Each structure stands twice: as C-alpha cells, then as structure tokens.
Amino acid sequence: MKYARTVLGDIKAEEMGFTYTHEHLHAVPPPCQKDRDLELSSYEKSTAELLNFKEVGGCTLVEASTLDYGRDLNVLRKMSEETGVHVIATSGFNKHIYYPEWVEEKSVEEIADLLSNDVLVGGDGGSSRAGFMKIGTYYNLIHPLEKKTITATAIAQKKCGAPIWGHTEAGTMGMEVLDLLEGNGVDLTTTALGHLDRNADEYYLLKLADRGIYIQFDGPGKVKYYPDSVRVALIKSLIAHGHIDQLLISGDMGRASYLEAYGGGPGFRYIKTKFIPRLLDEGVTQAEIEKIFIKNPQRWLAVFEGPEC
Ligand SMILES: [Zn+2]
C-alpha cells in the first residue's frame, strides 16, 4: 500500500480521488515581484475557492507555493481542516529571481537537508509535512543558483523519496532540466514538468514524454496565451502517441484575477465543469479523464510507505 503525504497526514492512494495537480491557495511572492496579482493572501477568499473545488467534486488539491513564494503549511493545514479537501504541499523553490539570500549562502547539502526535513519531519514550525519537492528553471536558461537547488533536490530525494515537480518558464528548458536531474541520479518517472502547454510544440512535448516524465498542462482557460483548442489538440496527440499514463492537467490559477472568490475567473470550477466536458465532446474517453485526474496523480504522488514513515 502506498500513501500520499497531505498537510494533515498520509492518506491511501485511493483516498486522493479527483485531483488538481498544481494550484495555489496561499502565495506571497517576495517584494521584488511588482505584479501583486500573484499574491493570494486572503484566508477567507482562498478557502471559499477551495470550497468551489469541493462543490464540483474535487477531493485533493496540490498546492505549489514554495519556500521563496510564501509557503505556509500552517495556513494550508487550517484550510484543509476547514474544507475537508486533502491538500498536498511542497518544499523547494520557484525560479532564481525569487530566491532568498540563504540559497546562495547555504551549501548544497544544507539545502538538501532542509528539503528532506520538510518532507520527513515538518516545516514552518509545525508538524505538517510537504508531499513533493519543487524545482524551477528560467526562460531559455538555467541559472547557476537553479542548478544548485536542483542538485540539492536530487540529494534530498534519496533521503525522503518525495516526487519532484518542475516549473518551466513558458515551457522552455525541459530537456535540459531532465538532463540535470538524470545526471544527479533522479529516476525521471518520479518527475513532473509543468507549464509545458505554454510551449505548444507537439514535437517537443512528445520528445519530453519519451523520457518517461509526467507532462503537466496547466493553462486551460488562459485564452490570453492561445485558445483551449490548441491544448485539446496536444492532449489528443499525446494520448494517440501512447502517453495517457503520463498526463496531468490542472489550472495553476495562481493569480487573484484567475479566482472567482477574489472577483476573477475562470476559477477552480473551470476545468471540472467546462474543460473536461469539452475534452469528452472532442473524443477523449471517460476512462482517459479518470487516468489524468485520478490514476496518474496517485501514481506520481502516492509513493510513501505510510503514516509512521
Ligand atoms: Zn504555479
């Protein structure tokens, strides 16, 4: 039996149910980020949005706010307790522009210990633990400090066994970050890369999938980039090429203007009530939908031995 690690403790894989694999509930980017639409710091509004997710059938939500992005396991714990939605939190980092100074000051081993401690013991002064580790790369480059935290994450994974999720900037540097992980001994089947639909290049996405990772699309509804028709076509292509077991879809609605409870849209309801019906209408099967939102998240995240481990 394998377990996923939520902020309230470990749960059996089957208990995860319908899962969004990349969202934000409590996010506070550092002051260098002038675009404060990225800040989600209203407990009431974020909790209301989480209830919207529950109302449409949501069971588990993966929260991807990192150590350099205001992660607070105690806030997430309270939201999970209040709503009854399983919340899986992260440890690790976004892109280098957000890093606090200690990333440069600490050794790779010290950072690795900090990450594995978050997964094994708990973080933010409480007993809630992270259920996966996040890495990040920049637009068409991997900064030396990003290389450092990626190396630390690979070392931490040997201690704590947590799965990895990678932020790509506009979907770039996918191959290069996988080379780096692999060079540090990471089994790529434990790894998901996100924001890949921002780089809507079928050939590139198929080549990434060939390396065994989870391919995450997290832009449904973000028409400012391009219409959902492009995402639907890429999803169908990945399925046609035999990659259904590697697909993850979420909204990454990490802006106040994306969330209904903050007065924006399309919100947490969108994928469940609009995007999935469209996928079904365009030929994706119900069994494939269940893999993307239930089975694949389980296989990626439920890797722990149980509550006592
Ligand atoms: Zn995100």
The string of pLDDT tens digits covering residues 92-125 is 999 999 999 999 999 999 999 999 999 999 999 9
Residue 224 counted as domain residue:
yes
Residue 200 counted as domain residue:
yes
Residue 211: the pLDDT is 98
For residue 190, report the distance from its CA to the centre of ligand 1, in Å: 19
Q: Which CATH number do you get for residue 70? A: 3.20.20.140
Residue 19 counted as domain residue:
yes
Q: HSE on the CB side for 239, CA within 13 Å? A: 17
Query: Which of the residues in the chain have pLDDT under 50?
Result: none
Residue 39 counted as domain residue:
yes
Residue 308: the pLDDT is 58
Residue 307 counted as domain residue:
no
Residue 306 counted as domain residue:
no
For residue 22, report the distance from its CA to the centre of ligand 1, in Å: 6
Residue 1: the pLDDT is 87
Structure token pair of residue 247: 């697909």
Tally of domains in the chain: 1
> Domain limits at 251?
3-301
Residue 297: the pLDDT is 98
Residue 308 counted as domain residue:
no
Residue 306: the pLDDT is 78
Residue 5: the pLDDT is 98
For residue 64, report the distance from its CA to the centre of ligand 1, in Å: 6
Task: Write the CA distances from 103 to 71, 111, 150, 153, 184, integer angstroms.
Answer: 16, 7, 12, 13, 19
For residue 254, report the distance from its CA to the centre of ligand 1, in Å: 6
